[in-house]
Amino acid sequence: MKVTLSFLLLLLLTGSLVVAQNDEDATRKLWDTAFSSAAANAKATNRRRSRSKYRIATPNVPVDEVAPDSVVGVTIWRLRPANRSDSGERLIVHDDSATKEWIPERISANTKIGAGDKLRISVEAARNGYLYVIDRELYADGSLGEPYLIFPTTRTLNGDNQVSVGKLAEIPAQVDSPPFFTIRKSRADHVAEVLSVLVTPTPLEGVQISDKAQKLSDEQVAGWEKAWSTSVGHLEMENVGQAWTREEKDAGATNTRALTATAPAPQMLFYRPKSTEAIFVKLRLSYRR
């Protein structure tokens, strides 16, 4: 009897450890990342809790009754030269004359950018679908430049723009040359870049993936925005400046390794209440004067 009870106890303990490990390694759900329970927070370190704390940037868009699979996470990274004392992961760039190391750091939607800044974008979706990123110039009089599809291209992931739960899409990819966008103003009254991120359940009609950014028509973009940008809410992580982590680097390097529930959360979360359709979100990155 003692042997049997000991064996049963061992099975129970082993099962508990397996469940705990599965919870630790489980692929995260973005809406759980934004609104985790008090019990889950109690298990995390103070640093992890502070990094996952969001503020509501669009108080007029309710956060209740959000379709969890409508959520899209976006993080903008600005690169700076690496120092010996840096603890963050490095992005190593080889060019004709030298090898340089850069530290990607998070910025917010309100961070001012400058000509010459090097930026990267990472996007995480809460469901299977297709990712598109459009860039437009914004001028001082409020007018917009022509829309260009900067992702997908065949230069990044061979044109594969499929996304799935827990997978991280990086734009440009780490293997691209160069693996960042260098910000340049086209004229004196160029005041901002407007990024539009779309996640759609099926590929967009009329879009052919090529080896470089392609110009879209104003009518195309206006139609997508009208159909899928209604009542989009926005959450912003309160802290900025965190450096790129090993888990984020590994997840973005292959686009096959899923982020776990304990991985760093996206800097921004966008959502549509009661919606399971495509989502169209816009970010305005303003230039420093």
Within a domain: 95: yes
Per the structure, the count of domains in the chain is 1
In terms of pLDDT, which residue wins out, 133 or 238?
133
Within a domain: 9: no
Within a domain: 40: yes
Within a domain: 57: yes
Q: How confident is the model at residue 23 (pLDDT cuts 50, 70, 90)?
A: very low
The vertex-247 CA angle with 243 and 252, nearest 5°, equals 90
Within a domain: 5: no
Per the structure, the complete domain to which residue 187 belongs is given by 27-286
**In this model, does residue 9 exceed pLDDT 60?**
no
Q: Could you tell me which residues come within 8 angstroms of residue 259 by beta carbon, excluding any fewer than 6 positions away?
A: 27, 28, 124, 166, 167, 168, 247, 248, 251
**pLDDT, tens digit, 9 for 90 and up, residues 94-105:** 776 778 999 999
Mean pLDDT rounded to a whole number for the chain: 83
158: left (phi over 0), alpha (psi -120 to 50) or beta: left
Asked if 246 and 89 count as a contact pair (C-beta separation under 8 A), the reply is yes
* Burial class of residue 22 (count of CB atoms within 10 Å of its CB; 0-12, 13-18, 19+): exposed
**In this model, does residue 227 exceed pLDDT 50?**
yes
**pLDDT, tens digit, 9 for 90 and up, residues 247-279:** 999 988 876 677 888 889 999 999 988 777 899
CB contact burial 96-111 (16+ within 10 A = b; e otherwise): eeeeeebbbbbbbbee
Quick one: pLDDT at residue 76? Answer: 97
